[in-house]
Chains A and B, each alone.
Chain A
């Protein structure tokens, strides 16, 4: 009897298994005995899987390992920063530890916290098309890709500008465009709204949500102002001291934060819990609906 052909399953956008990592300087600060007991690790036994098309929010206090996790997912850790690493990281089926940022460039886009530090070209158009140029795409294809991504991010008017004439918000969009232009499966963003005003920050989050829905790109985003992006996220992953302390939907995260780490509560959720209103809202619309139904 012939075997039934099973449909091919897409590789997870990000698969991390038992990942522990220590920066070189952290290792040097501790004695050999302390090294054995996992002291100084930025990441400790992290396991995480993101399915294609997910929008995940990485939450946690400062220095809990969020940025290091993003760096590991794009290959900068350990290839660029050095240090000791254990476990495995796969991005769209590519081994990030065996390969490196260059091998992952097609599969992952990374937007760092400071937009000024991640722009390397003179003009906006040159900056956006740089990843395609590195890959040897012909000029016509580059031009078309730049136009597509510029339209998607509403920045066609910036293409001829030099990067040093852009505002922080504009630079952030340009950095995002450069990360998206190769159409990666996974986009990693490290506090992308930290230098933006509230309106521009909200716009960026909902732009990411739209790209996630329309283009199917998987997004892993770290953010301190959780109230801004909880409503856009499908899933929240909380970190504490280099480990994952929560992984679940936004509504469950708010209940968890109320018990486990009040610093991660959103202002609206705190207000609702003080007023004894249940359930806790993940966003303004949710809050309005809850209040209306009472």
Chain B
């Protein structure tokens, strides 16, 4: 079964847009998630990312990211509640714990943990939409001339998502086939094997890229030389099929929309922050600001989620 996060070619605006435009928009959402602590703004970023994902046809990726994000957020909330004893509203006094000392669970520590968890969820959603909607081949082409190592890393990560999912499926099947008497394959063991396997996979993929000529000088200004062994005649270029061309993704008519959406979100977030938005304090008591700037920014961010919308014929 295909991973929910695997890139699926579609004709939607987010998939058709150049990787730079898609990254500009999704990156702006992630930047706002790190810039703000207000749950309202964070929730708006999550809604915008989810909406963009659904409109781009990546609903499955958004749902998977939501579940995965919640699985990450829950321990964050629990750990924060146990290790932080600041806050005026004590909900439970759990006494002396080894290493932790006196453990008091406060409503403020839980609220603070929720904010951290929410941030993890919305970042997961943005990355899920990126993974499912942005063609890694185009990322490689666009980035290689300017940042070879980053392009390689992005390609390896994108490639490893479906391969690791397939490996997980095979390991689970192998565990089931051991029979009912065998010890079940635990999540930790599965994760450990997947991690070890993914490192091997990454090495294989990097070796393949190397063999395909990845380390050659990026072809922006290079005329093709030595393409043909003598037994194969002349190179395609020498055969008269045209000169060298700049590589990288071609621009799309949707690029402007995503660049614009990203820029508006980012500029609005910075302006709103300077105007005193982001009113949230967890300690000593939870204070959630609902000033107009925060509400307006949240609404704007949610609206930006409509960027991938396309009027159907």
Contact = CB atoms under 8 A, between A and B. Distances in A.
A10 B208 contact: no
B232 A183 contact: yes
Contacts of A107: 229
A104 B207 CA distance: 13
Contacts of A117: 163, 200-201, 204-205, 208
Contacts of A114: 204
A116 B162 CA distance: 10
A106 B227 contact: yes
Contact of A145 (B2, B137, B204, B236): B236
B229 A102 contact: no
A141 B212 contact: no
Nearest to B245: A138
B229 A184 contact: yes
Interface in A155-193: 162, 164, 178, 182-185
A80 B206 CA distance: 9
B213 interface: yes
Size category of the binding interface on chain B: 35 or more
Nearest to B156: A120
B241 A105 contact: no
A106 B205 contact: no
Contact of B208 (A120, A137, A145): A120
A258 interface: no
Interface string A191-207: 00000000000000000
B211 A74 contact: yes
B23 to A, nearest CB: 17
Contacts of B224: 135-137
A130 B140 CA distance: 10
A105 B212 contact: yes
B212 A134 contact: yes
Contacts of B256: none
Interface of A: 10, 52-53, 74-76, 79-80, 92, 100-102, 104-110, 112, 114, 116-123, 126, 130-142, 144-145, 162, 164, 178, 182-185, 215-216
Interface of B: 2, 6-9, 135-137, 141, 155, 159, 162-163, 166, 200-201, 204-216, 219-220, 222-224, 226-232, 235-237, 239, 241-245, 247
30 contacts: A10-B231, A75-B211, A102-B210, A102-B215, A105-B212, A106-B229, A109-B211, A110-B211, A112-B208, A117-B205, A118-B204, A118-B207, A120-B155, A122-B9, A123-B9, A130-B137, A131-B213, A133-B219, A134-B212, A134-B219, A135-B216, A136-B223, A136-B245, A137-B227, A138-B245, A141-B237, A144-B241, A162-B9, A178-B212, A183-B232
